[in-house]
Amino acid sequence: MAKAVQPRGEEAEAPPATPNRERPQQPVRFEATKEQLLEFYRQMVLIRRFEEKAGQLYGLGLIGGFCHLYIGQEAVAVGLQSALEVGKDSVITGYRDHGHMLAYGIDPKIIMAELTGRAAGISKGKGGSMHMFSVEHKFYGGHGIVGAQVSLGAGLGFGHKYKGDGGLCLAYFGDGAANQGQVYEAFNMAELWKLPVIFVIENNQYAMGTSVNRASAEDQLYLRGESFRIPGIQVDGMDVLAVRGAAETAIEWTRSGKGPILLELKTYRYRGHSMSDPAKYRSRDEVQSMRDKSDPIDAVKRELEAIGVTEDEMKAIDKDIKTIVANAADFAEQSPEPDLSELHTDVLVETY
Ligand SMILES: Cc1ncc(C[n+]2csc(CCOP(=O)(O)OP(=O)(O)O)c2C)c(N)n1
Ligand SMILES: [Mg+2]
């Protein structure tokens, strides 16, 4: 016979929901060598300057459609992807994807050319900002449907396990996407089948104009995997060394066959949601205060200073990046648009 429902407050004390579960180690902040730290700095400055330039080109009408910038979030992609094995592991993300491509060492010229819709672009100029893709790097997009990349990421993880290729999938999504239903179906399957997937919530505090606290009953997003037995870790996403440290822990967990893990990266986007965001939902002071107190590039600069890297050495990197970005913009402006015949190619998914 079914047990009568107990009135609230009178139930016997519940046992812990998930007893005797193994938990990952608390991550330790990564101890980077001077070379590694300089490389993190270089990549983060590249992303920042690239995105600023993309914003300018958009303003000039050279980039059309949607364009979501990654400024403020640089430490996330750089810290996480620096720990992956390019070509073995796969990466998938949403539409805010330029930084993830750059962090993978993909040529800024062909990323910028994609933004301006040129044939030399990484998706042949037909994907644009939201649909960057590189089979060679196992970088599977660039997706405009909020949350869809999470299910696809579980599928990529399934592929790694099925083929036994030793790879894992890093599936990024936002704090807004974390409230999407399919995310939890993907979580369930991923844990049930112990898929090698690192789910990464880039919590930049806003989903378009809605803050996390307005939209999320549980705003500690790293807990969102708990009911699926997926362990979660909250990470300072403005500190590239903390991010890299968390990546090490997550990779160790996932590669050793323990199944998925969830990382919540606390970060912040400085610019609007997209280029057409009037930004009425937050104050200028809030943004300025984040820039002043928590900027991820300033933080790496301080680390570099502490180990004796001079201002001049950093300026030399900045100069180099300026040239790389200027060349990428020139290339993206001058290279030809796709041929009209390309209108009818790549429309359906083919073998890849
Ligand atoms: C299924 C679906 N619903 C709604 C949208 C419209 N939309 C685009 S971005 C976005 C907000 C997502 O925010 P978040 O996941 O936090 O990512 P962020 O933009 O902050 O990187 C919404 C609602 C969409 N693209 N797809
Ligand atoms: Mg967000």
pLDDT digits over 170-227, tens only? 999 999 999 999 999 999 999 999 999 999 999 999 999 999 999 999 999 999 999 9
Distance 321 CA to ligand 2 centre (A): 27
What's the pLDDT at 10?
A: 54
Ligand 1 and 129: CB distance under 6 A: no
Minimum mean pLDDT range among 2-16, 117-131, 146-160, 229-243: 2-16
- For residue 132, what are the contacts with CB-CB under 8 A and spacing of at least 6? 97, 98, 101, 111, 114, 122, 123, 139, 141, 142
The pLDDT of residue 348 is: 74
Share above pLDDT 90 across residues of the chain, in percent, rounded to a whole number: 89
Q: How far apart are CA 52 and CA 179, in angstroms?
A: 30
Specify the pLDDT at position 120.
98
Please tell me if the CB atom of residue 146 comes closer than 6 angstroms to any atom of ligand 1. yes
Give 159 Cα–ligand 2 centroid separation in angstroms.
28
Judge if the beta carbon of residue 72 lies within 6 A of ligand 1. no
pTM of the model: 0.93
Burial of residue 184 (CB within 10 Å: 0-12, 13-18, 19+) is middle
Atom of ligand 1 nearest to the CA of 177: 15
**Ligand 1 in reach of 175 Cβ (< 6 A):** yes
Q: For residue range 21-49, list pLDDT tens digits in order.
A: 899 989 999 999 999 999 999 999 999 99
Cα-to-centroid distance, 280 and ligand 1 (Å) = 17
Q: How far is the CA of 3 from the centre of ligand 1 (A)?
A: 42
pLDDT of 131 > 90? The answer is yes
pLDDT in tens, 61-119: 999 999 999 999 999 999 999 999 999 999 999 999 999 999 999 999 999 999 999 99
Q: Which residue segments constitute the domains of the chain, with CATH numbers given?
A: 34-329 (3.40.50.970)
Residue in 146, 183, 224, 266 to alter for ligand 1 test, most ligand atoms within 8 A of Cβ? 146
Q: Which pLDDT band, with edges at 50, 70 and 90, does 2 fall under? A: very low
Q: Is the CB of 145 under 6 A from ligand 1?
A: yes
Q: Does residue 130 or residue 17 have the better pLDDT? A: 130
- Which band of pLDDT confidence, cut at 50, 70 and 90, is reported for residue 17? low
Q: Give yes or no for residue 15 having a pLDDT over 70.
A: no
Ligand 1, atom 8: closest residue by C-alpha: 146
* Pocket lining: 196 vs ligand 1, CB cutoff 6 Å: no
Q: What is the pLDDT of residue 12?
A: 56
Res 352: pLDDT: 58
Identify the band that residue 3 occupies on the pLDDT scale cut at 50, 70 and 90.
very low
The CB of 197 under 6 Å from ligand 1? The reply is: no
Q: What is the mean pLDDT of residues 333-343?
A: 95
